[in-house]
Amino acid sequence: MEVLLKVYKGTFKKKSGESRDMTFARLADLPQKFLTEHIQGAGSEQSYPDGMELVWDLEADNFRVFNWKLAENTPKEYDIDESLFT
């Protein structure tokens, strides 16, 4: 049975004023096994300013921060096969 994962595609303005397109998954939507393999350490979670969210950038294949306050559009939501992350 195929399990779907929510991913988003959105654009926000960086500190430099440049627009940044990002295709990302929110950490809460990622499979637990994927997070366990990619997150090291425990008990020292970093906090981000209001509107900033740590996400998994699918194009960079790494963690990045998405700035919701400076979003140039409402990120579009898509569903992809979760098996890509397991």
Under the banding of pLDDT at 50, 70 and 90, the label for residue 60 is: very high
In this structure, the strands spanning 62-67 and 76-81 are unpaired
> Residue 29: phi, psi to the nearest 5?
-95, -15
85 vs 25, more confident: 25
Q: So where are the chain's domains?
A: 4-85
- pTM tops 0.85: no
Under the banding of pLDDT at 50, 70 and 90, the label for residue 66 is: very high
How confident is the model over 9-53, as pLDDT tens digits? Answer: 999 998 899 999 999 999 999 888 888 888 776 544 678 889 999
31/82 Cα distance (integer angstroms): 8
Q: Measure the CA angle with vertex 38, ends 32 and 43; round to 5°.
A: 80
The burial of 43, by beta-carbon neighbours within 10 Å (0-12 exposed, 13-18 middle, 19 or more buried), is given as exposed
